[in-house]
Structure 1
Amino acid sequence: MYLHIGEDILVKTDDVIAILDKKLLQSSPIMKEFLDKKADVTSHLAKNSVKSIVVTDKQVYYSPLASSTLKKRSLQQSLLIDDIDVLSI
Protein backbone atom coordinates (compact mmCIF):
# COMPACT_ATOMS: atom_id res chain seq x y z
CA MET A 1 0.00 0.00 0.00
CA TYR A 2 0.94 3.63 -0.37
CA LEU A 3 0.80 6.55 2.02
CA HIS A 4 0.13 10.11 0.84
CA ILE A 5 2.59 12.29 2.77
CA GLY A 6 1.87 15.69 1.25
CA GLU A 7 1.80 17.54 -2.04
CA ASP A 8 1.58 14.81 -4.70
CA ILE A 9 3.95 12.37 -3.03
CA LEU A 10 3.08 8.77 -2.24
CA VAL A 11 5.47 6.39 -0.53
CA LYS A 12 5.19 2.66 -0.11
CA THR A 13 4.22 1.89 3.47
CA ASP A 14 6.76 -0.95 3.49
CA ASP A 15 9.52 1.62 2.85
CA VAL A 16 8.58 3.88 5.78
CA ILE A 17 11.04 3.54 8.64
CA ALA A 18 9.73 6.35 10.85
CA ILE A 19 7.22 9.18 10.99
CA LEU A 20 8.53 11.80 13.39
CA ASP A 21 6.99 14.90 14.87
CA LYS A 22 8.79 18.15 14.01
CA LYS A 23 9.17 18.94 17.72
CA LEU A 24 11.61 16.05 18.01
CA LEU A 25 14.00 17.93 15.75
CA GLN A 26 14.12 20.85 18.18
CA SER A 27 14.69 18.72 21.26
CA SER A 28 17.15 16.12 19.98
CA PRO A 29 20.68 16.97 18.87
CA ILE A 30 21.09 13.38 17.64
CA MET A 31 18.10 13.77 15.33
CA LYS A 32 19.46 17.06 14.02
CA GLU A 33 22.80 15.37 13.29
CA PHE A 34 21.03 12.49 11.49
CA LEU A 35 19.04 14.89 9.31
CA ASP A 36 22.13 16.94 8.53
CA LYS A 37 23.85 13.78 7.27
CA LYS A 38 20.81 12.96 5.12
CA ALA A 39 20.61 16.45 3.58
CA ASP A 40 21.51 15.15 0.12
CA VAL A 41 18.46 12.83 0.06
CA THR A 42 15.98 15.22 1.67
CA SER A 43 12.82 16.57 0.03
CA HIS A 44 10.92 19.55 1.41
CA LEU A 45 7.23 19.05 0.65
CA ALA A 46 5.98 21.78 2.95
CA LYS A 47 5.53 25.15 1.29
CA ASN A 48 4.73 26.82 4.61
CA SER A 49 5.49 24.92 7.78
CA VAL A 50 6.90 21.47 8.35
CA LYS A 51 4.82 19.38 10.73
CA SER A 52 6.47 15.98 10.42
CA ILE A 53 9.45 14.13 9.04
CA VAL A 54 9.00 10.88 7.13
CA VAL A 55 12.09 8.68 6.93
CA THR A 56 12.24 5.94 4.29
CA ASP A 57 15.08 3.66 3.36
CA LYS A 58 16.14 5.97 0.50
CA GLN A 59 14.71 9.42 1.24
CA VAL A 60 13.79 11.84 4.03
CA TYR A 61 10.68 13.97 3.53
CA TYR A 62 9.67 17.11 5.40
CA SER A 63 5.89 16.89 5.31
CA PRO A 64 3.23 19.57 5.81
CA LEU A 65 0.97 16.93 7.40
CA ALA A 66 1.00 16.20 11.12
CA SER A 67 2.52 12.93 12.26
CA SER A 68 -0.80 11.99 13.87
CA THR A 69 -2.57 12.45 10.51
CA LEU A 70 -0.02 10.25 8.76
CA LYS A 71 -0.37 7.62 11.47
CA LYS A 72 -4.17 7.58 11.08
CA ARG A 73 -3.85 7.24 7.32
CA SER A 74 -1.47 4.31 7.61
CA LEU A 75 -3.70 2.60 10.18
CA GLN A 76 -6.76 3.06 7.99
CA GLN A 77 -4.98 1.37 5.12
CA SER A 78 -3.89 -1.49 7.39
CA LEU A 79 -7.47 -2.02 8.52
CA LEU A 80 -8.67 -1.93 4.92
CA ILE A 81 -6.15 -4.63 3.96
CA ASP A 82 -7.23 -6.78 6.93
CA ASP A 83 -10.88 -6.45 5.85
CA ILE A 84 -10.02 -7.50 2.31
CA ASP A 85 -8.06 -10.51 3.60
CA VAL A 86 -11.01 -11.60 5.73
CA LEU A 87 -13.40 -11.27 2.80
CA SER A 88 -11.21 -13.39 0.55
CA ILE A 89 -11.13 -16.35 2.96
Structure 2
Amino acid sequence: MFIHIGDDHVIQSKDVVTIIDHHLISSSTIVEEMIKNQRKAKRVIETEEHQAKAIVITNDVIYFSPLSVFTLKKRANMMTTLNKLEDFSEESDF
Protein backbone atom coordinates (compact mmCIF):
# COMPACT_ATOMS: atom_id res chain seq x y z
CA MET A 1 0.00 0.00 0.00
CA PHE A 2 0.93 3.63 -0.31
CA ILE A 3 1.06 6.49 2.18
CA HIS A 4 0.71 10.15 1.26
CA ILE A 5 3.30 11.95 3.41
CA GLY A 6 2.62 15.51 2.25
CA ASP A 7 4.06 17.81 -0.41
CA ASP A 8 2.73 15.52 -3.16
CA HIS A 9 4.96 12.66 -2.01
CA VAL A 10 3.50 9.17 -1.92
CA ILE A 11 5.64 6.27 -0.75
CA GLN A 12 5.15 2.56 -0.34
CA SER A 13 4.45 1.62 3.27
CA LYS A 14 6.74 -1.40 3.00
CA ASP A 15 9.71 0.94 2.41
CA VAL A 16 9.23 2.91 5.64
CA VAL A 17 11.89 2.16 8.22
CA THR A 18 10.73 4.72 10.80
CA ILE A 19 8.89 7.98 11.27
CA ILE A 20 10.31 10.37 13.86
CA ASP A 21 9.44 13.80 15.18
CA HIS A 22 11.44 16.58 13.55
CA HIS A 23 12.40 18.02 16.95
CA LEU A 24 14.35 14.87 17.77
CA ILE A 25 17.06 15.79 15.26
CA SER A 26 18.70 18.23 17.64
CA SER A 27 18.61 15.76 20.54
CA SER A 28 20.43 12.98 18.71
CA THR A 29 23.88 13.42 17.21
CA ILE A 30 23.50 10.09 15.42
CA VAL A 31 20.36 11.27 13.61
CA GLU A 32 21.99 14.62 12.82
CA GLU A 33 25.02 12.88 11.33
CA MET A 34 22.89 10.45 9.33
CA ILE A 35 20.86 13.28 7.80
CA LYS A 36 24.02 15.28 7.08
CA ASN A 37 25.54 12.29 5.25
CA GLN A 38 22.34 11.61 3.32
CA ARG A 39 22.14 15.29 2.29
CA LYS A 40 25.66 15.02 0.87
CA ALA A 41 24.53 11.96 -1.09
CA LYS A 42 21.43 13.91 -2.25
CA ARG A 43 19.11 11.37 -0.64
CA VAL A 44 17.07 13.86 1.40
CA ILE A 45 13.84 15.42 0.16
CA GLU A 46 12.95 18.50 2.18
CA THR A 47 9.47 19.96 2.53
CA GLU A 48 9.03 22.89 0.18
CA GLU A 49 6.27 25.08 1.55
CA HIS A 50 5.83 24.21 5.20
CA GLN A 51 8.08 23.61 8.14
CA ALA A 52 8.82 19.93 8.65
CA LYS A 53 7.03 18.23 11.51
CA ALA A 54 8.17 14.66 10.88
CA ILE A 55 11.00 12.79 9.23
CA VAL A 56 10.14 9.67 7.25
CA ILE A 57 13.12 7.38 6.81
CA THR A 58 12.82 4.83 4.03
CA ASN A 59 15.27 2.30 2.68
CA ASP A 60 16.61 4.76 0.10
CA VAL A 61 15.53 8.31 0.94
CA ILE A 62 14.82 10.55 3.93
CA TYR A 63 11.70 12.71 3.57
CA PHE A 64 10.91 15.79 5.63
CA SER A 65 7.13 15.85 5.97
CA PRO A 66 4.88 18.79 6.86
CA LEU A 67 2.51 16.30 8.50
CA SER A 68 2.79 15.30 12.15
CA VAL A 69 4.00 11.90 13.30
CA PHE A 70 0.50 11.23 14.66
CA THR A 71 -1.13 11.96 11.28
CA LEU A 72 1.35 9.78 9.41
CA LYS A 73 0.85 6.97 11.92
CA LYS A 74 -2.92 7.15 11.46
CA ARG A 75 -2.51 6.98 7.69
CA ALA A 76 -0.19 3.99 7.93
CA ASN A 77 -2.53 2.21 10.35
CA MET A 78 -5.51 2.94 8.10
CA MET A 79 -3.72 1.26 5.19
CA THR A 80 -2.94 -1.77 7.38
CA THR A 81 -6.58 -2.03 8.42
CA LEU A 82 -7.76 -1.77 4.82
CA ASN A 83 -5.37 -4.54 3.83
CA LYS A 84 -6.91 -6.85 6.42
CA LEU A 85 -10.49 -6.34 5.27
CA GLU A 86 -12.03 -9.04 3.14
CA ASP A 87 -13.07 -8.22 -0.38
CA PHE A 88 -16.86 -8.07 -0.44
CA SER A 89 -17.06 -6.63 -3.95
CA GLU A 90 -18.48 -9.83 -5.41
CA GLU A 91 -21.63 -11.13 -3.83
CA SER A 92 -22.04 -14.86 -3.68
CA ASP A 93 -25.23 -16.63 -4.74
CA PHE A 94 -26.91 -18.59 -1.98
Same fold, TM exceeding 0.5? Answer: yes
Alignment of 1:1-80 (within 5 A): 1-39=1-39, 40-80=42-82
- Residue equivalent to 2:92: none
Count of residue pairs brought into register by the alignment: 87
For 1:5, the aligned partner's letter is: I
TM-score normalized by structure 2?
0.85
What is the CA deviation profile of residues 42-78 of structure 1, one whole-angstrom value per residue up to 9, with x for unaligned ones? 0112412110000111111010000111001000110
- Structure with the higher helix share, 1 or 2: 1
For 2:70, the aligned partner's letter is: S
* C-alpha distance 46-65 of structure 1, shift in aligned 2 (>3 A): farther
Runs of 4+ in 1 over 6 A off after TM superposition: none
For 1:71, the aligned partner's letter is: K
Unaligned 5+ segments in structure 2 are: 90-94
Which protein is bigger by CA-based radius of gyration?
2
- Residue equivalent to 1:82: 84
Q: CA RMSD in A?
A: 1.5
| Aligned-partner SS, 1:73 | helix
| Contact 1:46/1:62 (<8 A) preserved | no
Unaligned 5+ segments in structure 1 are: none
* C-alpha distance 64-84 of structure 1, shift in aligned 2 (>3 A): same
Structure 2: distance between partners of 1:35 and 1:84: 40
| Contact 1:50/1:62 (<8 A) preserved | yes
Report sequence identity in percent: 34
TM-score normalized by structure 1?
0.90
